[in-house]
Amino acid sequence: MNDLSGMDDLYRDFILDHYRNPRNAGTLEHPDATFEDNNPLCGDKIRMDLRIKDGAVSDVRFAGRGCAISMASASLLTEQIKGMPLSEIAKLGKDAVLANVGIDISAARLKCALLGIKVLKQALAMKYDPSPEEEAL
Amino acid sequence: MSLLAGAAQAPLTETEVARIRADFPILKERPHDKPLVFLDSAASSQKPVQVIAAMDDYYRRYHANIHRGVYHISELATEAYEEARRKVARFIGTPCSGECIFVRNATEALNLVAYAWGRQHLRAGDAIVLTEMEHHSNLVPWQILAQATGAVLRFVRVDDNGVLDLSNLDALLSGAKIFAFTAVSNTLGTVNDVRELSARARAAGAISVVDACQAVPRMPVDVIDWGCDFAAFSAHKMLGPTGIGVLWGRKALLDAMPPFLSGGGMINVVRLESSTYADVPARFEAGTPAIAEAVGFGAAVDYLEAIGMARIHEYELRLTEYALAQLARIPAVIIYGPPLAQRTGVVSMTVGDIHAHDLATILDSEGICVRAGHHCNQPLMEKLGVSATARASFYLYNTRSEIDALVRGIGKAKAIFKIA
């Protein structure tokens, strides 16, 4: 089948590369911030561990399973945030993720693309606005 | 369905299927400028014009609330609603239409049993037996019942072929009050022996609750022959509208059950401090029901009966056989579930390292609709060792050429993902 009708735009080589060879894959020992979440509709799952030094992300690892869109988006995001001050990360949103991926994504697949950044934001929120239970731990 | 009756019926022909397809307006749609290839009927089927027209006619000519008005159109609406109940009852083999309770869907039906029968009969330590292949709708209500009563859950194992392992069923059923299981797996297409499972439950003193969602649309079902106590199914999976389904139950069990939802329509005498309740089925149909949907449901049953469930089942098996053969020839395709003899028209698969969502996105670009994900069956997915599968399911309006389109679509996905 030669007619790929736009789908090769969505699944570009670098997306497939990040899917098959995710950057910053794995976990950190004693991370300063960590969070795991899933998308209950599809079962995609991402955990992100962060090392934070002087108000910036000094190291990051992510682990999970999911589609090419969710895994590549998360992989690209980890590359982007390494060394980034938390104040800059706070400004990252949907647009940054879509710019990384480099294409428009249908509403049905947007959740996949945004799972990584959702987990990242939650990890930082837990670290800097911990619930009482978290504090007790 | 006796063998004789089955043999006497000619298989569905291509001409007949073409005529059936012409009854479904949506099949003329062209998503992404490609013919619509709808392979997700196990999630929800499409609707023939006869069902759409019946509901339209009801709203145009005789919409009124039922069981209340003394005027003409209310009588018409009441009669149409009750006629739909009689049709559905006959369709599943019960002579007693009062045993069919109209609910929103199978999920509500199962919640009704778990709440109304379960809370009345279960005590701490009692067992509820389920299987590892249940849809979340036949799992979560029992988890909640167990938490509320102190009952324990036990599970019939699913083996590597996607078939129930019944080797320890008697031990599992010992001391059990409820055995709830699906007639057909929505994920793997496995067909369970409902007669056998119901008989084993009865012998152990447990009631049997059958999730019949995938069975009633696609094979002849006779609940009396099944010998179960309750069965639940939804209209929208069998050519009918969304928003209506059925709980069938044995009259004696239903009669002894307290209400689930309460309010208007389900009462006998109401005083400020207390009320008495209506007889079954009204007791379980609080509030204004889905009248138009019941009318549409009745039309759906008419449509299926005119073709014949044995023929529909046979046709679906032929499509499944073809699909399994074609898909098995594609390198990198893994098909989950049992061989043809133990399954019906549901095929779950993975293709190389392509995630099911990516596969479904690429198939969608070709106008092909398949379900991707865990199919409301997360524990079974864990067991299969996959996070998601792509599922194609077939119905009376599907054709071999649509399966060929699926095969070509999988080829496209493999090309994009550069898989040999």
Residue A3 has pLDDT above 60, yes or no: no
- Residue A35: what pLDDT? 96
Distances (CA, A) of B110 to B63, B114, B231, B376: 29, 6, 8, 15
Q: How far is CA A9 from CA A15, B171, B288, in A?
A: 10, 56, 50
Q: Is B382 within 8 Å of chain A by CB?
A: no
pLDDT tens per residue across span B6-35: 445 799 999 999 999 999 999 999 999 999
DSSP state, B329? T
What percentage of chain B's residues is helix, strand, coil (to nearest 5)? Answer: 45, 15, 35
Q: CATH fold of A7-125, please? A: Sufe protein. Chain: A (3.90.1010)
Interface of B with A in 13-52 (CB under 8 A): 32
Q: What is the CA radius of gyration of chain B?
A: 22
One-character DSSP codes across A28-63: -SS-SEEEEEE-TTT--EEEEEEEEETTEEEEEEEE
Residues of A in contact with B361 (CB under 8 A): 7, 10, 106, 108-109
Please give, rounded to a whole number of angstroms, the shortest distance from the CA of B320 to a CA of chain A: 24
Q: What is the pLDDT of residue A5?
A: 63
Residue A54 contacts B, CB cutoff 8 Å: no
Taking the CA of residue B42 and the nearest CA in chain A, the distance in Å comes to 17
Catalytic, B369? Answer: no
CA dihedral B124, B126, B128, B132 (to 10 degrees): 90
The pLDDT of residue A107 = 81
Query: Strand runs (DSSP E) across B45-199, as ranges?
Result: 100-103, 127-131, 152-156, 176-182
B373 part of contact set with chain A, CB < 8 Å? yes
- The pLDDT score that the predictor gives to residue B379 is 83
Report the 3 state secondary structure along A2-29: CCCCCHHHHCCHHHHHHHHCCCCECCCC
Residues from chain B contacting residue A12 (CB–CB below 8 Å): none
Amino acid at B169: L
- The β-bridge partners of A25 are A62
Task: Pick B373's closest partner by Cβ from A16, A41, A109.
Answer: A41
What was the ipTM of the complex prediction? Answer: 0.87
Rounded mean pLDDT of chain B?
A: 95
B416: closest chain A residue by CA: A8
pTM, full prediction:
0.92
Among candidates A11, A42, A109 on the partner chain, residue whose Cβ is nearest the Cβ of B416: A11
Helix (H, G, I), strand (E, B) or coil at A76: helix
User: Could A44 and B353 be called an inter-chain contact, meaning their C-beta atoms sit closer than 8 Å?
Assistant: no
Which of A16, A45, A112 is facing B357, going by the closest CB pair? A112
* List of chain B residues whose C-beta atoms are within 8 Å of the C-beta of residue A65: 387
Residue A104 pLDDT: 75
Dump pLDDT digits (tens) for B359-416: 999 999 999 999 998 878 888 888 888 888 999 999 999 999 999 999 999 999 999 9
Residue type, B409: G
> How many Cβ contacts (< 8 angstroms) between chains A and B?
60
Half-sphere exposure of B1 (CA within 13 A, CB side): 17
Please name the member of A5, A67, A69 whose beta carbon is closest to the beta carbon of B365: A5
Q: Domains in chain B, ordered, with CATH?
A: 3-49+308-416 (3.90.1150.10), 52-305 (3.40.640.10)
- Tens digit of each residue's pLDDT (9 = 90 or more) over A35-63: 999 887 777 899 999 999 999 999 999 99
Q: Are B358 and A68 a contacting pair at CB < 8 A?
A: yes
Question: Is B379 at the interface with chain A, CB within 8 A?
Answer: no
Q: Is the pLDDT of residue A131 over 80?
A: no
Determine the distance in angstroms separating the CA of A73 from the nearest CA of chain B, rounded to an integer. 14
Closest residue, chain A, to B389 (C-alpha): A42
The distance of A134 to chain B (nearest Cα, Å) reads 26
Rounded Cα distance between B328 and A25, Å, is 34
Look at A1 and B415 and tell me if their CB atoms are within 8 Å: yes
Closest CA to A12 of A78, A56, A76: A76
Please, which residues have CB within 8 angstroms of residue B324's CB and are 6 or more apart in sequence?
B335, B340, B347
Question: Which residue type occupies B220?
Answer: P
Q: Does residue A130 have a pLDDT over 60? A: no
* Residue numbers in A near B32 (CB within 8 A): 5
Q: Which chain A residues have a beta carbon less than 8 Å from that of B357? A: 42, 44, 66-67, 69, 109, 112
Query: Where does B204-274 have alpha helices with state H?
Result: 223-226, 251-255
Contact flag A11-B415 (C-beta cutoff 8 Å) = no
Q: Which chain B residues are within 8 Å of A20, Cβ to Cβ?
A: 353
Q: Which residues contact A111 (CB under 8 A, 6 or more apart)?
A: A39, A41, A42
Q: How far is CA B418 from CA A10, A11, B368, in A?
A: 14, 11, 21
Q: How does pLDDT run across B110-120, given as a tens digit for each residue?
A: 999 999 999 99
A68 touches chain B (CB under 8 A): yes
Q: Is the pLDDT of residue A27 over 60?
A: yes
